[in-house]
A and B are shown apart, each in its own frame.
Chain A
Amino acid sequence: MSNVSRRDFFKAGGLAGIAAGVAGLGIGSVLGVPEEAVAQTVTVTDFVYTCPVCGSKTTDYDSLVKHFEEAHPDASCGIPQCATLTINGNELKVQVEPQWTLRETLLRATDLHGGTKEMCDRGGCGSCTVLIDGVPALACTTLAVQCEGKVIETSEGIAADERYRPLVEAYAKADAAQCGYCTPGQFTVAKYIIEKYGEPTEEQIREELAGNICRCGTYSRHVQAITEAAAAMKGGN
């Protein structure tokens, strides 16, 4: 689908029709699914390190460390390293500093800028929730270097997954995003809830979503959207 814009994608969906297509666009943009974002995340094999201070490039890590220690002994950043992250099914080699959180890394080193939001940055709100090995985790309190070898899924990846199309549509239909800032986090947990419970009860949904704060108060709409999507996906399978 790399050559298909989301607008065309939804129009071509047919079943949901134009109305759902437009609504889907809304939720898609809220969820931070930029056009071709998923397709742009390509695998790099020859990794080129860039000195974060002066911008000089090298492919050899040892010479980077040597250069960094000699040229920038008082630098306020850490010595970067290469981390191999599996994000939404794509294996990415990215240059990270050891103290970068996963959220920071998604923002700085990948083109997934939309989905993993920064809000409290202290693990108190759930806006930056991603799935790590299928389990919700807060990207703001996870170091990127800890994520090597783990499978990371962001809201962009889930929204682009054909299987989860009913969830996107249910979110649009239930108008579960008001201002939309917390929605990617809630949406990510929504996938986990559906995976874990199949057809979750309202109580289970509310309990699992308890770590995600929405200042617009859309909680009941999330319950509605997840319930409907779970039923639709169950029926579809």
Chain B
Amino acid sequence: MKHFKHMQASSADEAANEAKNGTAWVMAGGTDLLGTLKDEIFPEYPECVIDLKTIPDMDGIAEEGDALRIGALAKLADVAESDLVKTHAAALAQAAGRVASPTIRHMGTLGGNICQMHRCWYFRVPDDRFHCKRKGGATCPARIGDNRYHSIFGDDNGCFASSSHDTAPALVALGATVVTTKREVPAEEFFGAHGHRSNVLEDGEVVKEFRVPKAAKSAFQKFALRKSIDFPVANCAVAQTADGATRVVLGGVHPAPWRSREAEEAVAGGVTADAAEAAGEAAVSVARPLGKNAYKVDIARTLVKRTLMDIAG
């Protein structure tokens, strides 16, 4: 890695303030950022890396009324094994438990997982050899290049990457709110292809915590080529509130988690085997696969069906 200065933050606001001019980058578990710095995937390089892990009391998991409050620095392993999360936000616990490998789950945080950059291989290529749309280039190379792991639901700001965070669809399905140092953003509006970032954060903005409404039932499933240490080809989270409203969210199929209103309509009358199958069909009815990823449509269809069946009955 090229050199940078290192700073230990004592509060989220301090970190945000230091990072506001864009030359200092914040780091939680570091499992994503350090890799990007080693590969120098961006034309820019930070002068300073701010360690967020030294901030006290930002990794708690607590119950507050009809929601859970989860600190951004909560380790993925802790989220996956927390009884509170397992009981009230099962999809999130399952999703956190499927991220990468056990070791990385001990290092990586929930805030870091949702802020990780896209895993597009053009975006991630070392030394910025594909100056893609996200870095100010003219086009997205995945559009005509090898796009087997890319979006099947079109682009976001011209980028065809697929969201690779496992916990993102769970947070969107559960209707969570992302609390940053500046504002509160619904998880549904948080993600997307924005410059280097996979979310709407600005320079000098740090995720502080998540507020996750309790769901009566929720579930998560992931399809990846390997069981461990792999990003999703596609994943799916569904959540049902006490009044029976069901949210269906796919990940790995669009630059942001893809909430499928079509699938939600199909299961509006209750989740049954037939409705789940119809929901799978409905979810992919609007898919627009690229040249090499039509196979992902089949995976997405089946994932929606199977994940819904986890909460059926």
Residues of A at under 8 Å CB distance from B? 76-79, 97-99, 101, 121-126, 129, 135-138, 141-143, 145-146, 189, 207-208, 210-213
Size band of the interface chain B makes with A: 20 to 34
Q: A99-B1, A99-B3, A141-B34 are in contact. Are A211 and B107 (CB under 8 A)?
A: no
Q: Would A124 and B4 count as touching, CB distance under 8 A?
A: no
Q: CA of A207 to CA of B233 in the docked complex: distance in angstroms?
A: 21
Q: Would A76 and B2 count as touching, CB distance under 8 A?
A: yes
Q: A123-B35, A146-B53, A213-B229 are in contact. Are A138 and B3 (CB under 8 A)?
A: no
Residues of B at under 8 Å CB distance from A? 1-6, 29-31, 34-35, 37-38, 49, 51, 53, 100-104, 106-107, 227-229
Residues of B with C-beta under 8 A to A98: 3-6, 49
Q: CA of A146 to CA of B103 in the docked complex: distance in angstroms?
A: 17
Among candidates B3, B51, B227, residue contacting A146 with C-beta atoms closer than 8 Å: B51
Q: Would A211 and B4 count as touching, CB distance under 8 A?
A: no
Q: CA of A82 to CA of B31 in the docked complex: distance in angstroms?
A: 24
Q: How many A-B residue pairs have CB under 8 A?
A: 82
Q: CA of A76 to CA of B45 in the docked complex: distance in angstroms?
A: 13
Q: Would B38 and A122 count as touching, CB distance under 8 A?
A: yes
Q: CA of A142 to CA of B49 in the docked complex: distance in angstroms?
A: 13
Q: CA of A101 to CA of B101 in the docked complex: distance in angstroms?
A: 20
Residues of A with C-beta under 8 A to B5: 78-79, 98
Closest residue of B by beta carbon distance from A101: B34
Chain A nearest Cβ from B58, distance in angstroms: 16
Residues of B with C-beta under 8 A to A189: 103
Q: A138-B103, A141-B35 are in contact. Are A78 and B229 (CB under 8 A)?
A: no
Q: Would A141 and B107 count as touching, CB distance under 8 A?
A: yes
Q: Would B30 and A141 count as touching, CB distance under 8 A?
A: yes
Q: CA of A99 to CA of B100 in the docked complex: distance in angstroms?
A: 24
Q: Would A138 and B229 count as touching, CB distance under 8 A?
A: no
Residues of A with C-beta under 8 A to B228: 210-211
Q: CA of A189 to CA of B2 in the docked complex: distance in angstroms?
A: 30
Q: CA of A189 to CA of B105 in the docked complex: distance in angstroms?
A: 14
- B4, B104, B227 — which one has the most chain A CB atoms within 10 A of its CB? B104
